[in-house]
Protein backbone atom coordinates (compact mmCIF):
# COMPACT_ATOMS: atom_id res chain seq x y z
CA UNK A 1 0.00 0.00 0.00
CA UNK A 2 1.32 3.40 -0.94
CA UNK A 3 1.24 6.33 1.46
CA UNK A 4 1.38 9.80 -0.13
CA UNK A 5 1.56 13.23 1.50
CA UNK A 6 0.07 16.26 -0.24
CA UNK A 7 0.04 19.99 0.41
CA UNK A 8 -1.95 22.36 -1.81
CA UNK A 9 -2.51 19.53 -4.29
CA UNK A 10 1.19 18.74 -4.75
CA UNK A 11 3.16 15.80 -3.41
CA UNK A 12 5.12 16.73 -0.32
CA UNK A 13 8.63 15.43 0.32
CA UNK A 14 9.14 14.98 4.05
CA UNK A 15 12.73 15.30 5.24
CA UNK A 16 12.73 16.87 8.72
CA UNK A 17 11.97 14.22 11.40
CA UNK A 18 10.93 16.98 13.84
CA UNK A 19 8.28 18.36 11.48
CA UNK A 20 4.66 17.65 12.46
CA UNK A 21 3.83 16.37 8.99
CA UNK A 22 6.72 13.88 9.18
CA UNK A 23 5.53 12.67 12.58
CA UNK A 24 1.97 12.20 11.27
CA UNK A 25 3.35 10.26 8.30
CA UNK A 26 5.30 7.95 10.65
CA UNK A 27 2.20 7.38 12.80
CA UNK A 28 0.12 6.36 9.79
CA UNK A 29 2.92 4.01 8.68
CA UNK A 30 2.77 2.38 12.12
CA UNK A 31 -1.01 1.97 11.79
CA UNK A 32 -0.48 0.26 8.44
CA UNK A 33 1.89 -2.22 10.03
CA UNK A 34 -0.97 -3.29 12.30
CA UNK A 35 -4.05 -3.08 10.04
CA UNK A 36 -2.51 -3.20 6.56
CA UNK A 37 -3.30 -6.91 6.22
CA UNK A 38 -6.99 -6.00 5.91
CA UNK A 39 -6.35 -4.45 2.48
CA UNK A 40 -5.21 -6.85 -0.25
CA UNK A 41 -5.57 -4.53 -3.26
CA UNK A 42 -2.07 -3.65 -4.57
CA UNK A 43 -3.33 -0.38 -6.09
CA UNK A 44 -4.75 0.84 -2.76
CA UNK A 45 -3.24 4.02 -1.33
CA UNK A 46 -3.68 6.56 1.42
CA UNK A 47 -3.28 10.26 0.75
CA UNK A 48 -2.65 12.61 3.66
CA UNK A 49 -3.47 16.22 2.80
CA UNK A 50 -1.61 18.74 4.96
CA UNK A 51 -3.08 21.87 3.31
CA UNK A 52 -4.92 22.84 6.51
CA UNK A 53 -2.40 23.33 9.34
CA UNK A 54 -2.82 20.81 12.20
CA UNK A 55 -5.81 19.15 10.48
CA UNK A 56 -4.62 16.41 8.14
CA UNK A 57 -7.25 15.05 5.79
CA UNK A 58 -7.08 11.36 4.89
CA UNK A 59 -8.26 10.05 1.52
CA UNK A 60 -8.35 6.28 1.04
CA UNK A 61 -8.22 5.29 -2.62
CA UNK A 62 -9.14 1.79 -3.87
CA UNK A 63 -9.49 0.50 -0.30
CA UNK A 64 -12.13 -1.98 0.78
CA UNK A 65 -14.88 -1.18 3.27
CA UNK A 66 -13.38 -3.24 6.12
CA UNK A 67 -10.02 -1.47 5.88
CA UNK A 68 -11.63 1.99 5.65
CA UNK A 69 -13.78 1.32 8.69
CA UNK A 70 -10.84 0.08 10.78
CA UNK A 71 -8.53 2.89 9.59
CA UNK A 72 -10.99 5.62 10.55
CA UNK A 73 -11.63 3.94 13.92
CA UNK A 74 -7.92 4.04 14.67
CA UNK A 75 -7.47 7.63 13.42
CA UNK A 76 -10.48 8.94 15.33
CA UNK A 77 -9.31 7.20 18.51
CA UNK A 78 -5.97 9.03 18.19
CA UNK A 79 -7.77 12.38 18.02
CA UNK A 80 -9.45 11.70 21.37
CA UNK A 81 -6.08 11.28 23.09
**Is there a contact between 27 and 4 (Cβ–Cβ < 8 Å)?**
no
**What global pTM score does this model have?**
0.86
Nearest Cα neighbor of 4 from 53, 58, 42 is 58
CB burial string 17-35: b at 16+ within 10 A, e below = eeeebeebbeebeebbeee
- Dist. CA 61–CA 46, nearest whole Å: 6
First to last CA, the chain: 26
Q: Is the dihedral of CA 40, 62, 50, 55 positive or negative?
A: negative
Q: pLDDT tens digits, residue range 30-64?
A: 999 999 999 999 999 999 999 998 889 999 999 99
Going by pLDDT thresholds of 50, 70 and 90, the confidence category of residue 78 is low
Domain boundaries, given as residue ranges, for the chain:
2-80
> Does position 81 have pLDDT exceeding 80, yes or no?
no
What is the pLDDT at residue 54? 85
Task: Please report the pLDDT score of residue 79 as a whole number.
Answer: 59
Backbone angles phi, psi at 46, to 5 degrees: -120, 130
Amino acid sequence: MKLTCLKNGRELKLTDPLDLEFIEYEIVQDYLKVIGHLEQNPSARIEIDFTEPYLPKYTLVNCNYTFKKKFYQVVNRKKLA
